[in-house]
Amino acid sequence: MKMKSHTTLLSIFAVSALAKLHEKADTTIGTYSLVATIPWSPITPSSVDQSVIYNGTYYLSDRSNAGIHVVSTSNNTQTTLITGFATNFVNKSLSPSTSGPNGLVVLPDRNEVYAGDGDGTIKVVDLFTNKVTANISTGSKKRADEFAYDPSSGIVVCTNPNEATPYVTVISAANRTVMGKVSFPNATELEQPAFNPDTKEFYLSVPSIPGNIGGEIAVLNLNNLTISRTYPVPDCAPAGIVFGPKGKLFIGCSESQIEDYGFATSYIMDVSSGNITSNITYISGVDQVAYSPFTKYFYASAYQDLTNGSRTGAPAPVLAVVGSNGTLIQSITTDNVTAHSVAVDSKSGVMVIPVKAKGILLYGLGSSGATNSSSGDKTPTTSGGTVISTTSSGRKEMMSRSVFAAALLSAALWLL
């Protein structure tokens, strides 16, 4: 067998050492910086909704463009806009309750996206062709909104938040049939559902309902289409929720929290008890949230946050990056128009935020040292988001230079 050259061996060992370091990279993963700006196309939107990254491709619902942007995160280019949505412009104005596309979810085992439309239908998108291949009616004339998916049972749940009695529609993905609905009488609206793989139950963020005016997390019983149990979320008006490490649910509180209660905080809940285990102080006005198992960070689009959590505070829109222990890692300045959407790659940690005046902003993990804020600061610090740059050099730089040097050194020592 032909010997590989020393340099080849060195790079093989360097890569394997890097991979080893990567596995325990929790504290070296670092903070984000802007690496690419994808211009809006065809028009600059005034109203977007949820986004997701799947297989290195970013999908963003855009009501103004009546479609879903498809952006490759490997070459930072918009490849297409998935069309066929009922945007329902009324005199050039959008109404989120009857416009679409809205929330969306990927069904990885089926290579489909389910996206909620403004006319109460769910559009099923084939991700190989980027075409709508089916419509599923939820029985509402107002929008179908946000989703969660259980791959083990093939069940999708979708919220219908704008009905007189808001409800959750339960769908079988295998035959695209509505199996029933769970109603929430007298709830003001419904927010994000999330699937808990540990208990195999769907959880739902309910902003306000009699009994839990400040909001609750409801757990659905799909066997008889009832609510199994509820956990109050004190003075929050919860919006986005997402599961992180086992049993930890990040709960983004919305702007109503600041207006109604005069303070700003989001929470991490231990769903085995319903106890709030972390307060993420001064992070409120949140809509979509995300979690990456690669970084073990939560991401909260605090686009309607106000300075110092004060009713009279100036708009302070940020994207908050939060450790799974509740520590605020980074706050990136965004806007209070389109930046209520955040997506993160589960394999690389690449994060994407839409900002109206700039475009679709891709952030990569950069230096490890610059932890620039912590929970308890009065005003979230800002970094990264105010810089416009289109370089791509930083995007794949997952480790700091010092960590890379350490990896090279350990590879070299291994060779000796």
Ligand X SMILES: *[C@@H]1O[C@H](CO)[C@@H](O)[C@H](O)[C@H]1NC(C)=O
Residues that bind ligand X (CB under 6 A): 26-27, 55, 72, 74-75, 77, 79, 86, 90-91, 111, 127-128, 132-135, 154, 172, 174-175, 177, 179, 185-186, 210, 221, 223-224, 226, 265, 270, 272-273, 275-279, 307-308, 315, 323, 325, 327, 329, 336, 378-379
Dist CA 114 CA 179 (whole Å): 16
> What is the side-by-side strand order in the sheet with 147-150?
147-150, 155-160, 167-172, 177-183
CB of 18 to ligand X, least distance (A): 19
Which residue type does 386 have? T
CB of 414 to ligand X, least distance (A): 28
Dist CA 253 CA 304 (whole Å): 10
Residue 13 or 299 having the CB closest to ligand X: 299
CB of 126 to ligand X, least distance (A): 8
Residue 270 or 397 having the CB closest to ligand X: 270
183-217: b (≥16 Cβ within 10 Å) or e: ebeebebbbbbbbbeeeebbbbbbbbbeebebbbb
Cis check for the bond before 207: say yes or no (omega within 30 of 0).
no
CB of 226 to ligand X, least distance (A): 5
Q: How far is CA 276 from CA 246, 249, 270, 272, 302, in A?
A: 15, 9, 6, 11, 19
Residue 33 or 73 having the CB closest to ligand X: 73
CB of 401 to ligand X, least distance (A): 19
Residue 271 or 411 having the CB closest to ligand X: 271
DSSP for residue 309:
G
Dist CA 30 CA 366 (whole Å): 6
CB of 159 to ligand X, least distance (A): 18
Neighbours of 4 (CB within 10 A): 11
Coarse DSSP helix, strand, coil percentages of the chain, rounded to the nearest 5 percent = 10, 40, 50
CB of 113 to ligand X, least distance (A): 10
Residue 260 or 270 having the CB closest to ligand X: 270
3-state class of 399 per DSSP? Answer: coil
DSSP 104-169: EEEETTTTEEEEE-TTSEEEEEETTTTEEEEEEE-S-SS----EEEETTTTEEEEEETTSSS-EEE
Residue 14 main-chain phi, psi, to 5 deg: -60, -45
* CB-based contact 191:184 (threshold 8 Å): no
3-state class of 387 per DSSP? Answer: coil
CB of 15 to ligand X, least distance (A): 20
Residue 13 or 184 having the CB closest to ligand X: 184
Q: Tell me whether residue 56 is exposed, middle or buried, using C-beta atoms within 10 angstroms of its C-beta: 0 to 12, 13 to 18, 19 or more.
A: middle
CB of 7 to ligand X, least distance (A): 30
Residue 7 or 223 having the CB closest to ligand X: 223
Residue 44 or 277 having the CB closest to ligand X: 277
CB of 20 to ligand X, least distance (A): 18
CB of 11 to ligand X, least distance (A): 25
Comparing CA positions, the residue from 81, 31, 104 lying closest to residue 360 is 81
> What is the side-by-side strand order in the sheet with 67-72?
48-54, 57-62, 67-72, 77-82
